[in-house]
Structure 1
Amino acid sequence: MGEVSRGARALVVCPDIRGRHHDLDAEARLEEACGLALAIGIVVAEGFVLPVRDVKPGTLFGSGQVDSILTKCELEQAELVVIDGALSPIQQRNLEDKLKRKVIDRTGLILEIFGERAATAEGRLQVELAHLDYQQSRLVRSWTHLERQRGGFGFLGGPGETQIEADRRMIRQRMSRLRKELESVRRTRALHRDRRGRAPWPVIALVGYTNAGKSTLFNKLTGSDVMAEDLLFATLDPTMRAISLPGVEKAILSDTVGFISDLPTQLVAAFRATLEEVTGADLILHVRDIANPSSAAQKTQVLEVLADLGVTENESGEGAIPIMEVWNKVDLLPPDDAAELRAVAEDDPMVQAISAVTGEGVDDLLTRLGEVLTAGARVHELVIPASAGRRIAWLHAHGEVLSEVDAGNGPQGPLRRLTVRLNPKEFGQFETL
């Protein structure tokens, strides 16, 4: 993160365009936009919703509204204006000319965050491709107020780094190379589709809307200290830790990036690429901020993305990864509402009401996770040569060994008889050893 963005004072403007549908209401969208700005260290001087009756092709807002934004900028000493919506290159340029300040839209803001967060090879390639696609129509830049060096993709920076003076031909060539690289990465990934089946430990992926409390829960379950601030996109990289569960000696817990509404079209592929870990999970833990008034809309957004990833159940019921809902932040609800939710959750084995901050319900969550992951486990009686130390050690490490005794001699020497409880995945792994 360049230090300029962390010091920049900004106005955040949420256009409420008449007749345009959104899953979240205008105030919720404004709050989210301010959260996005805070996530990359921008100081939000003021945020407000601005009703737009008729979209002006040149500036989006009417001339009186542009003057009002300029006045607020001067009053708040804001050097940056964030528009929570998509601006055309012409609108962005005209607003910068009239406001005499840097203007970035929602796509540019999210791209900046994605550029710093993308951890996988495909993620980095997708983000760069989205960045170039976004920038190729924005080559004419006249804005030079923030003149210090910075990292990221340079949307908030000045002339010291990624000044967009490269010509369109070079950008097109780079985009063509990136698409070829992406094709190669996808082919390689196709060769590793059996990764989940061969993983030595069950994998639990935490997913959820941004700021639902995933990282706080991750820290509570693992005793870790992953960044868990009250910020959108606080988790910039997928993080994995081992945990113990009842009946499961070890499981891998994976914290993923938060989901978000109205993701700009250019970024959908880049966002999916950052969620590769989810497709390899044995269980998805959907963490919901149940105290948020927009919780239902947020759930819809998350399930839509999971469906796009192909991890939810198809028509035949095959290929689905079980999803357990975690209703987080029950401590923030009025007592009667919290009691009602707890009662509903108790009747559903795939729902658990918790508070990741206070620890309420976390022990019960661990018990339920163990039950789900061991569901379908069967007791197997296996006779193995005593010399096959690696296979015997694997059974002790991965299964529940109920007994182990001598079983006489075979053609290759002494035998051992083991009675072991294994789930279908573990038994399949054992047979490949």
Structure 2
Amino acid sequence: MDSTIVTDQILPATGAGTDSRRTPISREGHFAWLDVRSVEQSLLPAIVQAALHHRIDGILSDKIETFDGLPPTVRRILSVDAPLAEDFPYDGVDLVVVADRADALSPNIGHTPDRGVHVVVSDAPTLQLACEVVREVPWTLLTFTDPTKIPLEIVIAAAENSGGRTVTTVTDVEDAEIVKLVLEHGSDGLLLAPRSADDVVRIARIVDHQIESMELSELVVTKVEHIGMGDRACIDTCSLLEKDEGCLIGSFSTGMFLSCSETHPLPYMPTRPFRWNAGAVHSYVLAPDNRTRYVSELQAGQPILAVRSDGSVREVRIGRVKIEKRPLISITAVAPNGKNVNVIAQDDWHVRLLGPGGSVNNVTELEPGDKLLGYVPTEARHVGLPITEFCDER
């Protein structure tokens, strides 16, 4: 397909899909559907059980008997190629997906459940159709025949503020990771034909609601020491960071400091708005899924959490980690729960930690009594994962 399609030739006309009877649907969060039409009968029970256990949003089938016994916690989606019939037994179905746009829009089909349209996008006319349908119906199932994600970007843009939801067919779990992030918020839903129950687990993790905020605590500095040479790491990310955006890093898993990004002016060098001059190589850094990693183990492409001074959180990817020998400074503070926490950073004025309200604190100017921001989890850690056990870190 020609990827040079001009966007303004594709978007639907003003006013399409503005039926006042429709209530706009919240676009928060992603969800997954499983397409079980091609699943071997012997594998189907395990896949359905995995879907229920991992709270998959919906199961799509072309056989209504597939939904027998399913609890109301999973959406039952029937794929229908033929025209809808008024006497069809839709009682066990939550959503009917049709191939014909007219079927979805017809008011004369009787008491069918919610309707959606499946659009296969393979060229400019079918892309135009998708952009129109997504503003007319509550659900649009999209299948793209070409590997480029540009058509999906255009459909997502057309769906903005329409109240409709997009569900995009993905080829595998890796493709799902990409589709989820197209135009930042991605397709609302992902449709995967699983090959095993493991695929169900993996797609569930991809759409699982990610932490959006966390509670930060005030740490009161008690001791600052210059401790000599050691290996410290800079974490360069693939994102531009905000002035009050840091990574959480520390010597102990029971308390981490909010490291300041290099977004603030320096007298002898340009800013590096993608970087944290993070800390010594032994340090823990907080990553997604509430796990810690050693700074020395971080590699290009891995995810890490970026945290702002108000506690808002996002996931960013590591572009590179630079480990170099530098003088080090040790900063010890006390947390609200009375525990001592520590971070070891490069001993230089340009290295900074964030404090309450996003205040910027140069590490070489810190004194006992100064307040910094940090995170104080309640669990100890084993191989980076939270665990309830006795652990004394000093």
Please indicate, yes or no, whether the TM-score normalized by the shorter chain is above 0.5.
Answer: no
Question: Per chain length, whose mean CA-contact separation is higher, i.e. which structure has more relative contact order (CA < 8 Å, sep 6+)?
Answer: 2
TM-score normalised by L of structure 2: 0.25
TM-score (norm 1): 0.23
The structure where helix makes up a greater share of residues is: 1
Larger proportion of strand: 2
